[in-house]
């Protein structure tokens, strides 16, 4: 399992009906991928630029796709650009893979219900591992979860990340999620203003 998969399992398990949006999670999943690639030294950061650093291909299918998608020409891609490019529809990609692997299941609602099937986490070693990372207050998991609005009982002061490159990625995830929220609000205001124009016509 990877940090991205653990994060998705935690998001579904810990906050199944919470306000976490797919766009927010997609950005955080892209950040989780980058953190894992830093951990395996498949990439390095120079400032905020993501530089490929090795030829090894990860065993995980989605991480392998992430490596294959790296920009390998100078001036290289910024962390922010990576999050927005790689994060596009990443929630759907991870959900599909976890469902294929039997890690996620969709519970059917009662008959005559028009609600979408509820996604649940299957009991497995992967679930136990993800929840162990959460219960252990692992700083990276806590920070990624907090970026999308999932809070633990641990305070931010206790969740200390000491790796500068990882800190750079986490800060970029936080900023990207905030930017996405600002876009949502602006569109909401624009749509409301448009509706008011029509009502007054």
> Tens digits of per-residue pLDDT, 53-71?
987 889 999 999 999 999 9
The pLDDT assigned to 155 comes to: 46
The pLDDT assigned to 177 comes to: 94
Q: What is the DSSP string of 59-126?
A: SSHHHHHHHHT---STT-EEHHHHHHHHTTTHHHHHHHHHHHTTSEEEEPPPTT--SPPEEEEPSSHH
The pLDDT of 107-122, averaged and rounded, is 65
Across all residues in the chain, what is the average pLDDT?
85
How far apart CA 125 and CA 139 sit, in angstroms, is 21
Phi and psi dihedrals of 133, rounded to 5? -60, -40
> Tens digits of per-residue pLDDT, 130-185?
999 999 889 999 999 999 988 876 544 556 788 999 999 999 999 999 999 888 77
| Domain boundaries, given as residue ranges, for the chain | 3-108+115-200
Q: State pTM to two decimals.
A: 0.86
Strands 49-52 and 43-46, bridge-based pairing: antiparallel
The pLDDT assigned to 25 comes to: 95
């Amino acid at each position: 399992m990877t940090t991205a998969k653990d994060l998705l399992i935690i998001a579904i398990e810990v906050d199944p009906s919470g306000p976490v949006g797919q766009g927010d999670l997609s950005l955080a999943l892209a950040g989780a991928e980058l953190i894992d690639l830093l951990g395996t030294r498949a990439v390095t950061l120079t400032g905020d630029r993501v530089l490929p650093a090795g030829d090894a291909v990860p065993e995980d299918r989605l991480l392998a796709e992430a490596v294959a998608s790296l920009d390998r020409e100078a001036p290289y891609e910024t962390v922010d650009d990576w999050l927005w490019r790689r994060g596009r529809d990443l929630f759907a990609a991870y959900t599909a893979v976890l469902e294929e692997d039997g890690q996620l299941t969709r519970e059917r609602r009662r008959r005559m219900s028009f609600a979408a099937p509820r996604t649940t986490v299957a009991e497995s070693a992967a679930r136990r591992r993800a929840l162990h990372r959460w219960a252990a207050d692992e700083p990276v998991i806590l920070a990624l979860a907090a970026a999308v609005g999932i809070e633990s009982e641990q305070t931010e002061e206790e969740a200390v990340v000491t790796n500068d490159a990882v800190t750079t990625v986490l800060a970029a995830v936080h900023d990207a999620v905030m930017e996405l929220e600002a876009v949502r609000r602006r569109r909401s205001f624009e749509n409301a203003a448009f509706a008011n124009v029509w009502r007054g016509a």
